Amino acid sequence: MTFETWDGDDESAAGRFVPLYVLVNGRTAPRDSTLDLATQVVALPVDTRGLEPEYVEIVRRCANWISVAEIGAYLHLPLAITKVMVDVLIEQGYLGAGTPAQRNIVDLHLLDSVLAGLERL
Amino acid sequence: MDRTSVKIVVAGGFGTGKTTLVASVSEIPPLTTEEILTEASIGVDDTTGVEGKTTTTVALDFGRITISPDVVLYLFGTPGQDRFWFMWDELAQGAVGAIVLVDTRRLESSFAAVDYFERRGIPFVTAVNRFFGECAYTDDEIRSALELDSRVPLVWCDARDRDSSKLALITLVRHAMARLRVRAGSVPVAP
Ligand SMILES: Nc1nc2c(ncn2[C@@H]2O[C@H](COP(=O)(O)OP(=O)(O)OP(=O)(O)O)[C@@H](O)[C@H]2O)c(=O)[nH]1
Ligand SMILES: [Mg+2]
């Protein structure tokens, strides 16, 4: 799913800002990273001993399913950096990823259960 | 073993009660995550010398509601400064839809949010936050001031009140479902 970029009356200085292009472990954050900030991840039963401490800390946070946004908030990491680090951990098999929000936008059955969940609140 | 994420965006002008609404229904106190932004003129492939360039931080608040053992709903409030469209795109992508909060003392401050979701065809409902009880406007006056499509639901709410915020969320999910059904039903029949 793609989005047109904003073409409205955005002449302000802030309109020129984009997320800082980060470099983590020799990788740069893809502008179109498929990892959504609501996507949840979970630690896989893998030995984390060769990992750098910052990565171990993320894996520890993922003992239970947790979203990319929550990891960033708890570890005080900017979102773009959190995404790249989580991406690295998924790629290397330390974390498993759940179903991202994007795929379900047309899923009436899922929306039905969300509705029921909200009504129960 | 899987875990599905569902997103809803809580938008609106500056100070319209976005964080308050998220807080009133979230099962955890709202969390804040930050994005460090840098000037786009640097170019996306240039990762050198970033230190010297202008950067700014934009914060977003979010909360969560566990729907079932395998589905979690995340509620993301848009950044207070609605100029950071880049962040809106990230939040809106894959979202069920949005609640656009409106403060009747400053109707125009939510105009950009209405416009944003309308242009992209993202389902949204307007929730008029009753800040101080009585409101001088009728539904129709608010609708015409915001140039709302007649199909967009309008609810009145008190963002501090859990049941009221819940109702706004339920109205949005129903609206999104109704739109999906209309779409499914309107698929042209092959000749
Ligand atoms: N009386 C009343 N006050 C409210 C209501 N909703 C929010 N407030 C207050 O209005 C102020 C702004 O609310 P926030 O929830 O911070 O608004 P916001 O949209 O998140 O603000 P920004 O993120 O800065 O744009 C706070 O002091 C809230 O306590 C309401 O329904 N009634
Ligand atoms: Mg706020």
CATH number, position B66? 3.40.50.300
Residue B6 confidence class, pLDDT cut points 50, 70, 90:
very high
What is the whole-number distance in angstroms between the Cα of residue A15 and the centre of ligand 1?
25
Ligand 1 pocket mutation, candidates B19, B60, B162, criterion most atoms within 8 A of CB: B19
- Residue B172 lies inside a defined structural domain of this protein: yes
pTM (predicted TM-score)? 0.86
Query: How high is the pLDDT of residue A6?
Result: 40
- Which residues sit opposite B156 in a β-bridge? B128
The pair of structure tokens assigned to B61 is 């608040």
Within a domain: residue B12?
A: yes
Residues B103-130: tens digit of each pLDDT: 988 999 999 999 999 999 999 999 999 8
Q: What's phi and psi for A95, nearest 5 deg?
A: -125, 145
Q: How many CB atoms lie within 10 A of CB B37?
A: 22
For chain A, helix (H) and strand (E) counts, in that order, are 4, 6
Average pLDDT over residues B87-104: 93
Ligand 1 atom with the smallest distance to the CA of B81 is 25
Q: In whole angstroms, give the CA distance from residue A77 to residue A63.
A: 18
Q: State the maximum Cα–Cα separation within chain B, in Å, rounded to a whole number.
A: 63
Q: Running DSSP on this structure, what letter comes out for residue A87?
A: H
Domain with B26, as residue range(s), is: 4-184
Domains defined along chain A, listed by start? 15-120 (1.10.10)
Lowest-confidence segment of A10-24, B10-24, B132-146 by average pLDDT? A10-24
Count the domains in chain B: 1
- Which pair of tokens denotes residue B181? 């059904």
Q: Please give the ipTM for the structure prediction.
A: 0.87
Determine which of A19-23, B27-31, B48-52, B132-136 has the lowest per-residue pLDDT on average: B48-52
Considering the domain boundaries, does residue B180 fall inside one?
A: yes
Instruction: Please give the pLDDT value at position A16.
Output: 53
Whether B190 is in a domain gets the answer no
Q: Are A10 and A57 in contact (CB under 8 A)?
A: no
pLDDT bucket at B20, cuts 50 / 70 / 90: very high
Between the CA of B183 and the centroid of ligand 2 the distance, in Å, is 34
pLDDT one-digit tens code per residue, A51-76: 888 899 999 999 999 999 999 999 99
Tell me the C-alpha distance between A117 and B67, whole Å: 5
Q: Is the pLDDT score of B146 beyond 70?
A: yes
Is B61 part of any domain? yes
Q: Give Cα B56 distance to the centre of its chain.
A: 22
